[in-house]
Amino acid sequence: MARKTLEETMKKNNGILRMVPDFIPRDSWMPGRRLRLHPDDYAYYGNELGMIEERWFCATAPVEHGVKDAPEDLGMQYVDCEGERILFKDAVDELKEDLIGKELWDKYGRWPMFSKFYDYATTSFFHVHPTEEAACCKPGAVMKPEAYYYPPQMNMSAANANVITYLGIDPSVSREEVLERLRDFDKGENRIVELSRAYRLELGTGWYTPAGVLHGCGAWCTYEPQWMSESYAVFENYTDNHYPAFPHSEMNNLVPDDAEDEYEYTMSLIDWEINTDPYYRKKYFRRPVTEIETEDYISKWITYGNPYFGAKELTIRPGKTVLIKDQAAYGCILLSGHGMFGELECESPNVIRIGQMTKDEFFVSHERANEGVLISNHSCEDLVMLKHFCNNCGMPDAPEA
């Protein structure tokens, strides 16, 4: 039944799916309140699950929340099929290469990445996501590289704020110094970010963060393409705006049962060479790269130069209609403007209520992406959208170090 409904929707919309908004609560944190949610809805899920701080795009796996009564599908995105809602994961499983293309289906048998708006009031805890090698040692763990982009449209009140993000370890710091702070995890505030490097964030730019790199994300609403994983290990026990301290289990949750020293093993999760690279900014900072610029529109790569995923920012000028072709299937989120996205109306909302549909998010099949989507801007402002792809999108290489 689901396949028939999906096929009918795909036929009617010529290969485009409308996505249901997917908002994510996190406990013990304060939200940045820039997700365009109604103020009454940030605590929609109740005190135990916490307030809403994220919006996920194209997610095929649930949030690893640790709350007993959390909904089993929390985090998994749904597709809207004329009022009937079907999990995006099920849509991929049913339509296979007809949706994501033969190359991705043959290689992964799934849609392996997702993206999110990450919206916290303060800098996040200093943590690491495992490399593929490290993830293999812990059942259920999945490697996770990720990227960041800071869209001006989602940070209008923060344009001049001095916001910083922590990335890696200062090259002058020794491994023993980091290990010592990690061993202090249960003894009091370990202040491990004193050993890191802080970068002031710049709107309209971003970073690529390989798996195995310690990081504490800055407090701007961030667009984050990444691998579909929730695996991590916390290195910082006390963080701004988070109380009480992180429990020991957040530090050692990637340690296998047969590890002799949990602190040494947790240290092994980080890629020391990349973390202490003196040219880290030159290699992993991402200024947009213009793909195409005409009088009608601009397409820029904002995530590129990695083996896993890419992203673009598309800007269409007021009153213009353009045919946009892409090399691979993609999801997209509208940031400003209104008009038509192929056969469907599109608009960037001002206020969203939990449970309501919006017209700001879509998924485009591989075939339709190749053929092109005709996009019209009917507004007096630029129509701006962000587009997230897997690694078959033809993105440019990273800048030479």
In a domain, 398, yes or no: no
Q: Are residues 278 and 298 in the same domain?
A: no
* Least confident interval from 52-61, 151-160, 182-191, 218-227: 151-160
Q: Predicted confidence band at 69 (pLDDT cuts at 50, 70, 90)?
A: confident
The pLDDT assigned to 44 comes to 95
Pair 115, 162 in one domain? yes
Is 250 part of a structural domain of the chain? yes
Tokens of 72: 């089993």
Same-domain check for residues 273 and 302: no
For the beta carbon of residue 274, count every other beta carbon within 10 angstroms: 19
How many domains, in total, are found in the chain? 2
What is the predicted pLDDT for the residue at 290? 98
Q: Is 396 exposed, middle or buried (0-12, 13-18, 19+ CB in 10 A)?
A: exposed
Question: Within this chain, do residues 268 and 368 fall inside the same structural domain, yes or no?
Answer: no
Q: pLDDT (tens digit, 9 = 90+) per residue, 385-400? A: 999 999 999 999 998 7
Q: Is residue 400 part of a domain?
A: no
Task: Give the other-Cβ count within 10 Å of 390's Cβ.
Answer: 23
**% of the chain at pLDDT higher than 70:** 97
For residues 117 and 224, give the distance between their C-alpha atoms in angstroms, rounded to a whole number: 6
Question: What pLDDT, on the 0 to 100 scale, is given for residue 158?
Answer: 63
243 and 168 housed in the same domain: yes
Q: Which amino acid is at 109?
A: G
Identify whether residues 370 and 278 lie together within a single domain. no
Where is the domain boundary, 219, 251, 286?
286
Tell whether 106 and 237 lie within a shared domain. Answer: yes
- Among 155-164, 321-330, 391-400, which stretch is predicted with the lowest mean pLDDT? 155-164
pLDDT of residue 197: 98
Task: Say which CATH number the domain at 294 has.
Answer: 2.60.120.10
Asked whether residue 217 falls in the same domain as residue 307, the answer is: no
Asked if residue 399 is part of any domain, the answer here is: no
Same domain, residue pair 274 and 351: no
- Per-residue confidence (pLDDT) for residue 304, from 0 to 100: 99
Task: With a cut of 60, say whether residue 7 has pLDDT above it.
Answer: yes
Q: Are residues 194 and 308 in the same domain?
A: no
Structure tokens at 28: 């013990």
Q: In terms of domains, do 237 and 329 share one?
A: no
pLDDT digits (tens, 9 = 90+) for 245-293: 889 999 999 999 899 999 999 999 999 999 999 999 999 999 999 999 9
Assess whether pLDDT exceeds 80 at residue 220. yes
Q: Which domain holds residue 351?
A: 289-390
Classify residue 396: in a domain, yes or no.
no
Residue 72 has pLDDT above 60, yes or no: yes
Question: Among 257, 286, 315, which residue terminates a domain?
Answer: 286
The verdict on 264 and 278 lying in the same domain is yes
Mean pLDDT of 342-367: 98
Boundary-marking domain end, from 266, 286, 306 = 286
Provide the β-strand partners of residue 216.
166
